[in-house]
């Protein structure tokens, strides 16, 4: 079995010979962050394997996963493991429908949940609801069949622009479908008119900002297009390979 974070997989699929060497593996697994759909599809095409994606946190351990013997869909992290329950709540604490479209804050309870932050009772209390659910801080959709899609961190990946809520991941996936884009991170930055302005940071030698803006506008609702595209040599990442979006903001 081979486990990797999305950064590993995106760099691997850029080297087809290296990716093909994994065709003899039994299982490929991705975690730590959402695997971009274009990378998922390219990995499948190059290796013959459909990767398993799963979701968890230090506080919860693994809570959601697609199954080695079940349906593995690009963009989804599956359903709760045995002993775990999930639910979605709005900013006001109201239930969010499991329609696969409406974004809510993910809450978890079950056997894998931690007992609290060491010597930080106030932080522990703030992270739990009155009826015992852990507030993950992640924005998620759940479909009628129970499949979860991680939109991102509610604090940074949900951009409130011009009265709309826009998931950064959806814009990133659209940008990654353009052949000039190798890597991308989308953030919201303060804007006097829009509240937040959608800005895309792109790694790609031949990327042209206006071309990429038009590309997104042609794939998604026009209000989801980046208002700016900034070209970088590399994206800031931590030791796990996760993009440090706070540095970009």
Q: What is the pLDDT of residues 206-231, one digit of tens each?
A: 999 999 999 999 999 999 999 999 99
Q: What is the 3-state secondary structure (H, E, C) of the chain?
A: CEEECHHHHHHHHCCHHHHHHHHHCCCEEECCCCCCHHHHHHHHHHHCCCCEEEEEECCCEEEEECCCCCCCCCCCCEEECCCEEEEEECCCCCECCCCCCCCEEEEEEECCCCCCCCCCHHHHHHCECCCCCEEEEEEEEECCCCCEEEEEECCCCEEEECCEEEEHHHHHHHHHCCCCCCEEEEEEEEECCCEEEEEEEEECCCCCHHHHHHHHHHHCCHHHCCCEEEEECCCCECCCCCECHHHHC
Confidence of residue 81 (pLDDT cuts 50, 70, 90): very high
Q: What would the pLDDT profile of 169-187 be if each residue is shown by its tens digit?
A: 889 999 999 999 999 999 9
Q: Is the pTM of this model over 0.85?
A: no
Q: Is the pLDDT of residue 53 over 90?
A: yes
Q: Is the dihedral of CA 30, 133, 139, 82 positive or negative?
A: positive
**Section 16-42 average pLDDT:** 92
Please state, in angstroms and rounded to a whole number, the distance separating the CA atoms of residues 245 and 236. 8
Question: 194: closest CA among 217, 224, 231?
Answer: 224
How much is the pLDDT for 11?
A: 87
| Residue 165 pLDDT > 90 | no
Summarize pLDDT for 109-142 with one digit per residue, the tens. Answer: 999 999 999 999 999 999 999 999 999 999 999 9
Query: What CATH code is assigned to 75-152?
Result: 2.30.38.10
Integer Cα distance of 249 and 61 in angstroms:
29
Mean pLDDT taken over the chain: 93
In the CATH hierarchy, which top-level class contains the domain 158-242?
alpha beta
Structure tokens at 221: 């609702």
| Average pLDDT value for residue range 43-66 | 95
pLDDT band at 156 (very low <50, low <70, confident <90, very high): confident
Q: How confident is the model at residue 32 (pLDDT cuts 50, 70, 90)?
A: confident
In the chain, domain spans: 75-152, 158-242
* Tens digits of residue pLDDT in 193-208: 999 999 999 999 899 9
């Amino acid at each position: 079995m081979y486990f990797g974070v999305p950064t590993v997989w995106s760099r691997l699929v850029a080297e087809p010979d290296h990716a093909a060497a994994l065709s003899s593996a039994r299982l490929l697994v991705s975690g730590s962050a959402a695997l971009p759909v274009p990378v998922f599809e390219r990995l499948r095409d190059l290796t013959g394997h459909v990767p398993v994606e799963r979701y968890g946190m230090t506080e919860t351990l693994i809570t959601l996963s697609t199954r080695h013997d079940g349906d593995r869909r690009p963009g989804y992290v599956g359903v709760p493991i045995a002993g775990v329950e999930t639910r979605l709540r709005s900013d006001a604490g109201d239930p969010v429908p499991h329609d696969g479209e409406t974004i809510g804050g993910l809450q978890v309870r079950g056997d894998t949940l931690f007992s609290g932050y060491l010597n930080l009772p106030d932080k522990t209390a703030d992270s739990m609801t009155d009826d015992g659910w852990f507030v993950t801080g992640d924005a998620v959709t759940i479909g009628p069949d129970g499949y979860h899609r991680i939109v991102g961190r509610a604090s940074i990946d949900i951009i409130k622009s011009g009265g709309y809520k826009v998931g950064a991941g959806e814009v990133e996936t659209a940008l990654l479908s353009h052949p000039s884009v190798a890597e991308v991170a989308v953030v919201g930055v303060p804007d006097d008119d829009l509240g937040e302005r959608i800005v895309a940071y792109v790694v790609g030698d031949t990327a042209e900002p206006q071309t990429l803006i038009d590309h997104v506008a042609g794939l998604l609702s026009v209000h989801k297009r980046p208002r700016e595209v900034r070209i970088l040599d590399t994206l800031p990442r931590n030791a796990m390979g996760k993009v440090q979006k706070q540095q970009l903001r």
